[in-house]
Amino acid sequence: MAKGSMVEHIGIVFTEIGADYLVATMPVDARTKQPMGLLHGGASVTLAETMGSMGAWLAHPKSEEMLSVGLEINANHLKAVTSGTVTGKASPIRQGKTVQVWRIDISDESGDLICTSRITIMALKSR
C-alpha cells in the first residue's frame, strides 16, 4: 500500500485496525525531526492525515471504487518529543457517504498526548 510513498519513507506502520479506529506508529528519528532535534510538527500532521485518510477509505462501503482526499486538517502540538516512537489513534467523529471527519490523537511512549488533530475527508470516485 505505501511502497515508495512518504508513509514508507518516514516509517509509519499501521499496528491495529478496529471496527471504528486505527492505530499506527511513527519513529522519532532523523527522518521526522526538525533542526532543533524535536519531532517536526509536519511529521505529526503527516501521521494524522495518513491515518484519517486510511480510516475514511476503509470505512467507506464502496472503498474499492473510492479515493479519500483531505479537505482540511488542523493540529494542536501539545508536547515536545525528542526520541522514541509516537503512536496515533484515529477514530471517526462523523461518517457520511461523501464527507467524513476524523480525530487523531498522537501520544509519546509514556502515553502523554503530544498532538491532537482533526481532518475532514471527501470520498471521490477512483479514475
pLDDT of residue 1: 56
pLDDT greater than 80 at residue 21: yes
Q: Locate the domains of the chain by residue range.
A: 6-125
Q: CA–CA separation, 37 vs 59, rounded Å?
A: 36
Amino acid type, 53: S
- pLDDT band with cut points at 50, 70 and 90 for residue 120: very high
Q: Residue 110 phi/psi, 5° resolution?
A: -85, -5
The whole model's pTM is what? 0.94
Active site residue 49: yes
Instruction: Please tell me which residue in 8, 16, 49, 109 is annotated as part of the active site.
Output: 49
Quick one: 6-125 is in which CATH superfamily? Hotdog Thioesterase (3.10.129.10)
pLDDT greater than 80 at residue 125: yes
Contacts of range 5-9, beta carbons closer than 8 Å, 24 or more positions apart: 6/46, 6/50, 7/50
* Helix, strand or coil, per DSSP, at residue 93: strand
Average pLDDT of the segment spanning 76-97: 97
